[in-house]
Amino acid sequence: MSLEPQTNLKTETAHALKELIVRELKLDGKDPASIDDEASLFGEGLGLDSLDALQLAMSIEEQFGVRIPEGDEARPIFRCVATLAAHIDSSRAEAAKVTAGA
Amino acid sequence: MQEDVRLFVTGVGLVTALASSREASWNALLRGERGIRPIDLFDTSGQRGRIGAQVQDVTVRDAPHVATAAWSRSSVMAFIAAREALAHAKLDTKKVRVGLVIGGTTGGMFENEARLAELHRNPRNEEALVELLSHPLTAACDCVTQAVGPFVRTRTLSTACSSGANALIVAAAWLRAGLCDAVVAGGSDGLCRLTLSGFNALAAIDPEPCKPFDKSRHGLNLGEGAGFVVLERAPQVRARNVEPIAELAGWALGSEAHHITNPEPSGATPARVMQAALARANMTPADIDYVNAHGTATPLNDPMESAALMTALGKEIARIPVSSSKGQIGHTLAAAGAIEAGICALVIQRQKIVPTVGLVDPDPACALNHVVGEGRAARVRAVLSNSFGFGGMDSALIFKEANLDDPPIFVDENRRVVVTGAAALTPSGLRGTEQIKELLADAPNNHDITLDFAAHLDAMRARRLDRPARIGAIVVERALAEAGGDRIEKTGAVFSSAYGALDASAAYLHRLYEKGPRLASPADFPNLVPSSPVGHVTIYLGLGGPALATADLETSGESACTQAIELIQAGEADVVVAGGIEEASAIVERRLATIYRRLSETEKETAEIPRARAEGAAVVVFEAENVAKARGSRVLAEVTACLAWREDNLHPLSTITAPKNISEARVVMPRSEDESLIALLDASLWKDVSRVACDGAGGEHEALGAIAIGAALSEIFAGSIKEALIVGLAKGRGYALRLESRC
């Protein structure tokens, strides 16, 4: 597997994730493309809070079929769009491997 | 003659997961028993947390009448606890003027969840759905009235998890104002799929039995139950020769204006509320010998509450034993504050304190004098009980030893209440005080509000506000602007909605049944709580005063305004913006309204909706006269009468004196074709006064009473009249408000 498709995958996931963030957190008027992959989602950056994190975790599970761990483990995953997208992609790749192996 | 207004608890009734009676619940509390086990009331598969404090031996079959269609478990538990409290007090509701105040959040949700999900899927369902009558919050009030009444005055309120405590605060206001001779006040809430999945979605539930204040606490366990107390003034307690259990010595309420689900981490507002309760009781922290904490065992509540207790009680907190009953009876939501009030009264009477069960290793961030294991004997002169609700609605109650021979307390004359502004939002637009009178025109009204909300609200800050909260924020902002001057500190807010977030609940439940509990929406769930719109508006506009939701069928708007006036008269708030907010609702319009319009039994089966129901909202700014004068407000009118009654009152308007000048007076009726209302007016001293109604341009919805008050104010402001009488009726209840010009 070359690096290129993975990068595309990551971009695709990040793009879908940004649309999900705007839709699920009702950020009316915000252009999903204006969300920086590396900007923090909570506190300073996008200004989200713990209730948003829960809504994001639920809707990511619904849309991508990927569970976000609860508690402290979730912290680094929720840092920014890039970390969330990486978690989604790696969880899906893991699941695909398991399915393929079964 | 002035009367001693010290308030005594003379009866307590409890239904908890430990037992469906006061004495058995109390004994189990002392023994440190837990009522927390797997919930089997409904299928909990797929839920993260599946345990709770379920009441074991209560079903709708325990309702006292043959026709059980309108009874829910919440109503049955309310009935059992209210009956027990009345019996404990040896009080006959036929002999003295007794009031009833009930706090609730879920009403008949459990009984109607599958039905609501189906109605969401198919809103055109035309089945006879008389069972839906058990759903509205008001149902508990009507069921209890039917079963153990009569009551002269009733109120249904919600402030989420502090509802039960606030029921006692409203009762105190009624008793001090002499509106009743006794009040049975409390709360009731039944477990349901909606709340279990919602708190699970918020990751607020511990899948294991909860551990309040513990280092390893993971959240709460939901419970269910009911708690009621009977409150009476000292002279009547003496005259009836009953043994008082405790004195309700202090109370206070306020809102954090912080976040819809998370408490303010510093606990500043809870601390302010506890201090205000101490001041009301004329006590210092040195007088308090026990605290019954809110203590939910969520990661955020317990350290916040500990910090607030340290702020409010200072160094005394090291001495004072603290416990939370929620490790034994779960978090019973609207019942919690009332059950815990009952427990506190018994703590005082029996000189025993109850434990925090589940606490093993206290969190250093909750460094309190914990009571662990079992209850124990202790010298208890006074106790403090905390209750905090979603949206930051905080309340504190203080009980002390009952001693009828202590010095009496007299209240100064009730504070005069004036009106300084109003606003209405209907399909024909947003109107301020000057324009609301246009809604008295006999003009057609559209169904939906079409105002561009985005033009009136800050998108980012308003993103969590659902439609009723957005309508509320816009109409309140306009009314407060109308009331003039800078934003007043600690403005209170009371909103009514007859049926709450019915369609949103149906949508949430439909999704729950379709997709399972893991995909329940944590963001949608808080908006299903009846007090959510008022909570959102206090947060959006930064209002820190008392905030409550009320509901009273078609007179919901009147109930909110009446509640606001009572809070000001009682000194709980200086300024309260109050009224009704009713959003369009397919389920209300197609199903509920048809069966609620005071139809006869035979009509129930066949009747069509008499008039199309529309969206509508109106709020009125009420102020204490002295405060309005001090801040130089533009006073428009004074509230010179404010009546609320139940159907047993045959001459409710008999205390309303004649208008000073018939040609300068007007009767404003919410609805024009109301025969019982016309009969009532024809028998009053206002029989010859011209009558107008606002169900033309104002539409048809349950906030019409608030539009009527706003329209009357608008006419007074225009100088076309000098006084107005607003009278509204719904099944079994009525309200009247008199406004006199002060322009």
In this predicted complex, what is the ipTM? 0.92
Contact A51 B515 (CB under 8 A): no
Q: Mutation test of the interface with chain A: which of B453, B456, B460, B524, choosing the one with the most A Cβ atoms within 10 A?
A: B460
Residues from chain A contacting residue B459 (CB–CB below 8 Å):
27-29
Residues from chain B contacting residue A49 (CB–CB below 8 Å):
259, 262
By Cβ distance, the residue of A28, A54, A62 closest to B203 is: A54
Q: Are strands B290-292 and B382-389 parallel, antiparallel or unpaired?
A: parallel
Contact B518 A58 (CB under 8 A): yes
Report the pLDDT averaged over residues B106-121: 94
Q: In the structure, what pLDDT confidence band is assigned to residue B376 with cuts at 50, 70 and 90?
A: very high
Instruction: Tell how far CA B223 is from the center of its chain.
Output: 19
Contact A55 B262 (CB under 8 A): no
SS3 B220: strand
The DSSP result for B525-582, as a single string, is GGGGSTTHHHHHHHHHHT--S-EEEE-BTBTHHHHHHHHHHHHHHTTS-SEEEEEEEE
Query: What gap in Å lies between CA B595 and CA B27, rounded to an integer?
Result: 44
The alpha carbon dihedral of B268, B274, B280, B283 has a sign of: negative
Q: Does A101 lie at the interface with B, CB-CB under 8 angstroms?
A: no
Contact B203 A27 (CB under 8 A): no
Whole-number pLDDT of residue B407: 94
Would you tell me how many other CB atoms lie within 10 Å of the CB of residue B219?
24
Q: In the structure, what pLDDT confidence band is assigned to residue B612 with cuts at 50, 70 and 90?
A: confident
Residue B519: closest C-alpha in chain A: A58
Contact A61 B519 (CB under 8 A): yes
Say whether pLDDT at A41 is over 80. Answer: yes
Give the number of beta-carbon pairs within 8 Å between A and B: 46
Query: What gap in Å lies between CA B405 and CA B486, rounded to an integer?
Result: 46
Residues from chain A contacting residue B259 (CB–CB below 8 Å):
49, 51
Q: In the structure, what pLDDT confidence band is assigned to residue B424 with cuts at 50, 70 and 90?
A: very high
Q: Does A28 lie at the interface with B, CB-CB under 8 angstroms?
A: yes
- Alpha-carbon distances, residue B642 vs B175, B257, B548, B650, B717 (angstroms): 15, 29, 19, 17, 20
By Cβ distance, the residue of A29, A50, A51 closest to B459 is: A29
Instruction: Tell how far CA B297 is from the center of its chain.
Output: 24
Q: Mutation test of the interface with chain B: which of A20, A21, A26, choosing the one with the most B Cβ atoms within 10 A?
A: A26
H/E run at residue B301: helix B301-313
What is the longest distance spanned by two Cα atoms in chain A?
Answer: 45
Q: Is the peptide bond before B427 cis (omega within 30 degrees of 0)?
A: no
CB B701 within 8 A of CB B553: no
Min mean pLDDT across B24-33, B147-156, B477-486 is at: B477-486
**What burial class does residue B661 get, using C-beta atoms within 10 Å of its C-beta: 0-12 exposed, 13-18 middle, 19+ buried?**
exposed
Say whether pLDDT at B450 is over 60. Answer: yes
Report the pLDDT averaged over residues B208-232: 98
Per CB distance under 8 Å, which residues of B are interface residues toward A? 201-203, 259-262, 454, 459-460, 463-464, 515, 518-523, 526
Whole-number pLDDT of residue A54: 95
Of B468, B481, B469, B387, the closest CA to residue B433 belongs to B481
Report the pLDDT averaged over residues B611-640: 92
Whole-number pLDDT of residue B125: 67
Q: In the structure, what pLDDT confidence band is assigned to residue B351 with cuts at 50, 70 and 90?
A: very high
Query: What gap in Å lies between CA B454 and CA A15, rounded to an integer?
Result: 26
Say whether pLDDT at A2 is over 90. Answer: no
Of B258, B262, B392, B388, the closest CA to residue B324 belongs to B388
Q: In the structure, what pLDDT confidence band is assigned to residue B602 with cuts at 50, 70 and 90?
A: very low
Of B365, B71, B372, the closest CA to residue B216 belongs to B365
Enumerate residues 6+ apart whose C-beta is below 8 A from B94: B150
Report the pLDDT averaged over residues B520-526: 97
What is the phi/psi pair of residue A71, to 5°? 75, -150
By Cβ distance, the residue of B202, B259, B463 closest to A28 is: B463
By Cβ distance, the residue of B202, B454, B459 closest to A54 is: B202
Query: What gap in Å lies between CA B492 and CA B515, rounded to an integer?
Result: 39
Q: Is the peptide bond before B150 cis (omega within 30 degrees of 0)?
A: yes
Residues of B involved in catalysis:
161, 294, 331
Residues from chain B contacting residue A58 (CB–CB below 8 Å):
201, 518-522
Q: Quick one: what percent of chain B has pLDDT higher than 70?
A: 95
Q: Which two tokens stand for residue A18?
A: 């940004």
- Indicate the residue type of B401: E
Of B581, B546, B537, B540, the closest CA to residue B564 belongs to B546
Residue A59: closest C-alpha in chain B: B519
Contact B463 A25 (CB under 8 A): yes
CB B578 within 8 A of CB B115: no
Min mean pLDDT across B129-143, B221-235, B347-361 is at: B129-143
Question: Nearest C-alpha of chain B: how many angstroms from A24?
Answer: 9
**What burial class does residue B416 get, using C-beta atoms within 10 Å of its C-beta: 0-12 exposed, 13-18 middle, 19+ buried?**
middle
Say whether pLDDT at B592 is over 80. Answer: no
Query: What gap in Å lies between CA B401 and CA B245, rounded to an integer?
Result: 8
Whole-number pLDDT of residue B200: 97
Question: Nearest C-alpha of chain B: how many angstroms from A27?
Answer: 6
Whole-number pLDDT of residue B1: 55
Say whether pLDDT at B127 is over 70. Answer: no
Residue B218: closest C-alpha in chain A: A71
Query: What gap in Å lies between CA B151 and CA B148, rounded to an integer?
Result: 9
CB A58 within 8 A of CB B521: yes
Whole-number pLDDT of residue B130: 76
Whole-number pLDDT of residue B605: 46
SS3 B742: coil
Q: Are strands B51-52 and B637-646 parallel, antiparallel or unpaired?
A: unpaired
Min mean pLDDT across A4-18, B9-23, B299-313, B357-371 is at: A4-18
Say whether pLDDT at B485 is over 70. Answer: no
The DSSP result for A15-78, as a single string, is HHHHHHHHHHTT-TT--GGGS-TTSBSBTTSS-B-HHHHHHHHHHHHHHH--PPPPGGGHHHHT
Of B343, B345, B269, the closest CA to residue B305 belongs to B269
Whole-number pLDDT of residue B591: 78
Residues from chain A contacting residue B521 (CB–CB below 8 Å):
55, 58
Of B683, B657, B32, B12, the closest CA to residue B375 belongs to B32
By Cβ distance, the residue of A27, A50, A55 closest to B262 is: A50
Q: What is the dihedral of CA B90, B93, B97, B99, to 10 degrees?
A: 100
Say whether pLDDT at B601 is over 60. Answer: no
Instruction: Tell how far CA B20 is from the center of its chain.
Output: 24
Say whether pLDDT at B541 is over 70. Answer: yes
Burial B89-101 (b: 16+ CB within 10 A, else e): bebebeeebbbbb
Say whether pLDDT at B504 is over 80. Answer: yes
CB B371 within 8 A of CB B320: no
Would you tell me how many other CB atoms lie within 10 Å of the CB of residue B462?
19
Q: Mutation test of the interface with chain B: which of A21, A42, A55, A67, choosing the one with the most B Cβ atoms within 10 A?
A: A55
CB B288 within 8 A of CB B383: yes
Q: Does A43 lie at the interface with B, CB-CB under 8 angstroms?
A: no
Contact B460 A47 (CB under 8 A): yes
Residue A47: closest C-alpha in chain B: B460
Q: Helices (H), strands (E): how many in chain B?
A: 22, 26
Query: What gap in Å lies between CA B107 and CA B111, rounded to an integer?
Result: 9
Of B40, B159, B205, the closest CA to residue B495 belongs to B159
Whole-number pLDDT of residue B197: 98
CB B2 within 8 A of CB B408: no
Say whether pLDDT at A10 is over 80. Answer: no
Say which residue the tokens 């533009």 belong to. Answer: B634
The residues facing B740 across adjacent strands are B638, B723
Q: Which two tokens stand for residue B668?
A: 């404003």
